[in-house]
Amino acid sequence: MGLFNALFGKSTNNVAEYIEKGAVILDVRTKSEYQGGHIKNALHIPVQELGNRINEVVKLNKPVIAYCASGMRSGSATSLLKSKGVDAINGGGIGSLQRKLG
């Protein structure tokens, strides 16, 4: 369970709380995935680029909800963001996050 939560985060109860705190929604999927459909107003930084573009997120000074297709890449992104002091959670896959956002 600990490893599962570390990879996927406990996002079910935190998404609404993070939205209330003014969280930025971060799409870490590829450009083609993003162009195929994304959550409205999501910031798009593919997970492969996040390490080089982390300051773009840090400068926002806001909590972050990361998502991808399944929750794996957003789990990696969340870990990286947290290591840089960003308050971040893994929102999981896009479909799951869209349902949580209503």
Q: Which residues are catalytic?
A: 68
Closest CA to 65 of 33, 20, 102: 20
Closest CA to 90 of 46, 81, 57, 21: 81
What gap in Å lies between CA 102 and CA 97, rounded to an integer?
9
Q: Phi and psi dihedrals of 100, rounded to 5?
A: -70, -30
What gap in Å lies between CA 80 and CA 60, rounded to an integer?
16
